[in-house]
Amino acid sequence: MRIGDAAAAAGMTPRALRYYEQQGLVTARRTPSGHRVYDAEDIRRLRAVRELREAGLTVGDVRAFAHLLRTMPPEGVPALIPKDPRAERCSTAEAVARRRLADLDDRIERLSQLRARLAARLGEPADGPGAAPPPEAPAATA
């Protein structure tokens, strides 16, 4: 299938598909006239890339274990740490995901600090709207 159809089937834009191709995450075959052509395996791989990106991984993160994309099941990206201890784990993918999770935690902490500083300048509570309310004090018993 051509790029527009492949992108739609993978849930992305043709521009995103070309970008993932430039990054080495998928390789298109070419027709004699030079048009890109993708097959079902390419679509499955692109869906896995999209799912991993939506989970917070960067293109560089996905590229670190791109060789595993062809082994991902058709139903989507499996858990990086299987619940069954006998199931196969991928230490590379797990390490990349744990590193990204730590990075996200650091970024959230920095953004929370920035938010608190700005809120203080505006005279607003540091925790802001939508934050969890403070725990209630236990009711006094008589």
**Of 93 and 40, which is predicted with more confidence?**
40
What's the pLDDT at 141? 56
67-85 pLDDT, tens digit per residue, is 888 777 777 776 666 666 6
What's the pLDDT at 77? 75
Q: How far apart are CA 5 and CA 101, in angstroms?
A: 33
Characterize 129-142 residue by residue with b for buried, 16 or more Cβ atoms within 10 angstroms of its Cβ, and e for exposed. eeeeeeeeeeeeee
Which residues have a Cβ under 8 Å from the Cβ of 74 and sit 6 or more positions away?
44
